Amino acid sequence: MLKIRELIVRFENEVEFREIEALRGSVLNTFTDDCDVLFHNHIGEGFRYSYPLIQYKRINKKAAIVCFHKGVDTIGTLLNKEDVYLKTNDKEEKLKIESVNAFQYTIQVWEASFDYTIRKWLALNEENYEKYKQLNSLKEKCEMLERVLIANIITFAKGVEIQIEKDIECVITELKEPQERRYKGVYLMSFDCSFKTNISLPDYTGLGKGVSLGYGMVKRMNKNRQENDK
């Protein structure tokens, strides 16, 4: 069994989903010198082509930062700062920490299956979306998305340095009508769905494109949980 660390920093400040990018920008602006690459996933003029280990989220309508693996150690440089301000087009306010919670999760393929939801999942690039539109049945569309989901999970596992040696199984159990969203100047389809899988995943894991900005957020299904990113 292999475990990874996760740290969830929740703030008192309410944000809209469209303000998550401003949350990241506000965090980066608190560093007077170069901040660690994990905060922004850029190297020089290019990108760090690896799974983002620090992700900016909206959880229960409030700003949050979720860190995995090496990102847990890196986030300390931000938590030690006294004054961090959230600046958006509509407001400027001090970010107030509500809670900091640390967890350990076992990432493993099991005999049993687990139920999850994923929200605002940017599953398809432009080329794949054209293929998706050509599919005639809901069954074919779900099967294509299931393959993408498995690939996204493998990307996450590699990013936190865990090697999956058994086959991952995913079955989409509910698929809502996709919504069009603008991401990095391109319009992509965003999916909300529920799925079963035989691998255990940490709550608030991001899968697909845009995970550093809150897209593709995964949560274990629990009837008693009221948290959301809507």
pLDDT, residue 33, reads 64
Distance CA 116, CA 221 (A): 5
CA distance 199 to 24: 30
pLDDT in tens, 4-50: 999 999 999 999 999 999 999 888 888 766 666 777 665 555 455 58
**pLDDT, tens digit, 9 for 90 and up, residues 61-73:** 999 999 999 889 8
Q: pLDDT tier at 223 (50, 70, 90 boundaries)?
A: very low
Quickly count: other Cβ atoms within 10 Å of residue 205's Cβ.
Answer: 25
CB 197 within 8 A of CB 114: yes
Distance CA 125, CA 13 (A): 33
pLDDT for res 47: 54
Distance CA(213)–CA(210), nearest Å, equals: 5
* Mean pLDDT across 141-160: 96
Report the mean per-residue pLDDT for the chain. 88
CB 209 within 8 A of CB 43: no
What gap in Å lies between CA 189 and CA 209, rounded to an integer?
11
pTM of the model: 0.90
One-letter amino acid of 71: G
How far is residue 83's CA from residue 96's CA, in Å, rounded to a whole number? 9
Average pLDDT over residues 218-225: 75
Which tokens belong to 17? 């989903």
Bridge partners of residue 213, in order along the sequence: none
Across the range 169-181, mean pLDDT stands at 95
Tell me the C-alpha distance between 112 and 197, whole Å. Answer: 8
Closest CA to 96 of 111, 108, 77, 83: 83
Q: What is the mean pLDDT of residues 170-186?
A: 92
Q: How many CB atoms lie within 10 A of CB 62?
A: 16
Pick the CATH number of 109-220 from 3.30.70, 1.10.20, 3.30.519, 1.10.3470: 3.30.70
Q: Which residue has the tokens 């965090």?
A: 27
Helix residue ranges, H only, the chain = 20-29, 70-74, 76-79, 126-134, 138-159
**Encoded amino acid at 92, one letter:** E
Spans of all domains in the chain = 2-105, 109-220
| Tokens found for residue 2 | 């292999």
